[in-house]
Structure 1
Amino acid sequence: MIIRFEELDWQPTAMGDLTLRRRTEPSSGQEIFEVKLGEEFLMSSLFTVAEEELASLGLAAVEGVELTVLVGGLGLGYTAVTALRDERVRGLTVVDRLATVIDWHERKLLPVSAELVDDARTNLVEDDFFALMRSKPVGDHSGYSAILLDVDHSPRHQLDPTHSDLYAADGLRALDRHLAPRGVFALWSDDPPDGDFMGELDAVFDDAAAHIVDFDNPVTGGVSSNTVYVARSRS
């Protein structure tokens, strides 16, 4: 009997059943890790270029050294690990709503888990990123050098409809309160550049840009694209 998929973990969550599975990609023999929420595919280690570019493009826009970075959405960990590879980063906080996802990395079930959790700069936090952004910063925190967000499919296609307010100007202004002066906000999207969302970014931030990230797709045999938005705080 040929087993195409190995289920590494399954947990019920408030958003649906969350499944982590491992398989071998027939076209390359590569070991692939996939996450499903209910019947919907959330992410795959077969496609990590844009997640890595979220960190690379976002941090490339940040000036200075001794950076503090907030990542919204842990997932398979590629955005967070790419951020840690920037030698200027002195602190990385990763917020995920699902304790299960944090547990996968703490158990080192995923390819980059060890690199992520064994780095003393990493802090994994179970919380609602969107609720945190709506709240006022507490204490004497001077703001993050960069906020990197990869949770929803795109500004128009959210996993949870309660997230939608962040992608409008008022929600972006609330997020901006958590950035350091001239800090950078970067967002991954599965959709092509969205003119309406660019308008919302331009209303709040400076230097807003939509970067198209192309990558080879072994499933289709062609090239696929994601979008990474990058914008700078005016404060």
Structure 2
Amino acid sequence: MGLRFEEIDWRETPIGAISLRRRRDPVLDVDVFEVKLDDEYLMSSLFTVAEEKLARLGLAAVSGSELDVVVGGLGLGYTARAALEDSRVRSLLVVEGLGEVIEWHERGLLPLARDLTGDPRNRFAHGDFFALAESDEGFDAGRRFHAILLDIDHSPQHVLDTGHADFYTPDGLRRMAAHLHPGGVFALWSDDPPHDAFTRTLAEVFDEVTPHVVTFDNHYTGGTSANTVYVATTP
């Protein structure tokens, strides 16, 4: 049995104090890893279904093999690992804005760290996903990708940094989509229900847009909770 509570790491960052914690859930009798930014919870290893679905739904919409994929936001690594479980993935570039989060994985502090660091297809990149998406060079020296999977903000309407807001406009999405191959896929995780206005915004840029509601058990509420995964395909 693990400790009841442990703060594994705590750092000051440009966007606030970030901490990695491990606690023992007495109901499920499992260790739970959590990341907080100041007083706000960013992620928990208890609820990873939608993060994994982000990769699976996004890649399911991509045809062909030998896929090059970008994941925006490393977090606890569940989206990245789910992407690597697809045998068609040739390369995975995980863009993370906080070097501390990459370091947690490189130091083996997280349950999925070995799965990611031990896979030769995977590479971590410390950088601002949104700035790279807007740039001409993109995520990797002008290289195009078959899928871009994004899980950074809580939702397009609830961003972690006000500077991210422009990304969720038609112009911002067009600049990002320029780094996809024709027929490439952009998939986005959101903590909110499907948002009609944002679905219409995606439809201005992409050929096909589908918001998927992903449900999962929530033992805290005694019922189910839901997230949204938007999947959008370029012409």
| TM-score (norm. length: structure 2) | 0.97
**Structure 2 equivalent of residue 27 of structure 1:** 27
Partners of 2:101 and 2:132 in 1: CA distance: 18
RMSD of equivalent CA atoms:
1.4
Q: Does 1:7 align with 2:23?
A: no
The unaligned stretches of length 5 or more in structure 1 are: none
CA–CA separation in structure 1 for the residues paired with 2:91 and 2:209: 25
Please tell me whether the aligned partners of residues 142 and 180 of structure 1 are also in contact (alpha carbons under 8 angstroms). Answer: no
Give the residue type in structure 1 aligned to 2:27.
Answer: S
Could you say which residue in structure 1 is the equivalent of 2:185?
Answer: 184
Residue matched to 1:83: 83
Secondary structure of 1:19's counterpart equals strand
Superposition deviation, residue 26 in structure 1: 1.4
Q: How does 1:1-235 map to 2 (within 5 A)?
A: 4-137=4-137, 141-234=142-235
| Secondary structure of residue in 1 paired with 2:103 | helix
User: Does the 8 A contact of 1:96 with 1:129 survive in 2?
Assistant: yes
8 Å contact 2:20–2:34 — kept in the other structure?
yes
Q: CA deviation at 1:122?
A: 0.6
Q: What is the distance in 1 between the residues matched to 2:87 and 2:65?
A: 9
Deviation readout 1:164-223 (Å, 9 max, x if unpaired): 011110000000011011100000000000000001000000110100000000111110
Displacement, 1:142?
A: 4.7
Identical aligned pairs, as a percentage?
57
Conservation of the 8 A alpha-carbon contact between 2:136 and 2:142: no
Unaligned runs of 5+ in 2: none
Cα offset for 1:4?
3.4
Which contiguous aligned blocks of 4+ residues in structure 1 show a shift greater than 2 angstroms? 137-142
SS in 2 for 1:109: coil
Q: Is the 8 A contact 1:137 1:177 kept in 2?
A: no
- State the TM-score, normalized to the length of structure 1: 0.97
Distance in 2, matches of 1:109 and 1:61, equals 33
Residue identity opposite 1:226 in structure 2? N
> What is the SS of the residue equivalent to 1:35?
strand
Whole-angstrom distance in 1 between the partners of 2:194 and 2:84: 27
Cα drift, residue 143 of structure 1: 1.0
Q: Which amino acid aligns with 2:57?
A: L
Q: Please say if residues 54 and 188 of structure 2, whose CA atoms lie closer than 8 Å, have aligned partners that are also in contact.
A: yes
CA contact (8 A) 2:62 2:147 kept: yes
Mapped to 1, the partners of 2:159 and 2:173 lie a distance apart of 16
**Post-superposition offset of 1:27:** 1.0
- How much does 1:137 deviate? 2.9
Aligned equivalents of 1:210, 1:70: Cα separation in 2: 20
